[in-house]
Amino acid sequence: MVRIRCCGIVDDLPRCKRFLAEAENAETILLQVEEYEAIRLKDYEGLEQNEAAKIMGLSRATFQRVLQSAKQKVAEALVKGCNISIEGGFFKMANRKFECQDCKHVWEVAPCSEGGKHGYEIECPKCGSLKKIKLMNGERHVCGGGHHGQNGHGCCGGHH
């Protein structure tokens, strides 16, 4: 009997979903979104496996398997000159976290991809202000002003 893997929590979708090899008819290797997230957390952000696993809501052993699969695929693409496509997998988007600039209230909202409001529509549940900062990976990102999804750091946290 095949065991179904738990879905990992992904903070944001990748800014670029396709990497093309120079060869015209190169094979394409599929990297799942949670595999991308594991590489981002461990290798780009420099987190320890325990911390990265916790952020993704996975056991350390499952995180290690996801990371190993991702690294194997990237290595194969580099060595063989393959395209890489990042899509699909077993994941769910993390809630977005905001801080009101007027009353300093902090709250979470479901991702717009799962029926939540777009960032520019979200008002502070405490004071009703639309002035907010998006909190993401310990950084603060300005929201609103017609920058919907810009550079992957808008209030929606992804590209649409």
User: pLDDT tens digits, residue range 127-144?
Assistant: 999 888 888 766 777 765
* Average pLDDT of the chain, as a whole number: 83
Contact 131, 101 (CB under 8 A): yes
| Residue 36 parent element (H or E) | helix 33-39
Burial 73-111 (b: 16+ CB within 10 A, else e): bbeebeeeebbbebeebebebbbbebbbeeeeeeeebeb
Is pLDDT of 153 > 60?
no
Predicted local distance difference test score (pLDDT) of residue 150: 38
Of 6, 5, 4, 10, the closest CA to residue 86 belongs to 10
Contact 137, 55 (CB under 8 A): no
Mean pLDDT over residues 28-32, rounded? 97
Is pLDDT of 123 > 70?
yes
Domain 8-92: CATH architecture, name and number where available: Orthogonal Bundle (1.10)
| Structural domain boundaries in the chain | 8-92, 95-152
pLDDT tens digits for range 74-121: 999 999 999 999 999 988 888 888 899 999 999 888 876 555 566 667
For the chain, the straight-line distance linking the first and the last C-alpha, in angstroms and rounded, comes to: 38
Q: For residue 99, what are the contacts with CB-CB under 8 A and spacing of at least 6?
A: 105, 106, 132, 133, 135, 140
Mean pLDDT over residues 155-159, rounded? 47
Mean pLDDT over residues 52-66, rounded? 95
The pTM for the full model equals 0.71
Query: How far apart, in whole angstroms, are the C-alpha atoms of residue 78 and residue 58?
Result: 28
Cα distances (Å, whole numbers) of residue 72 to 10, 39, 128:
20, 11, 48
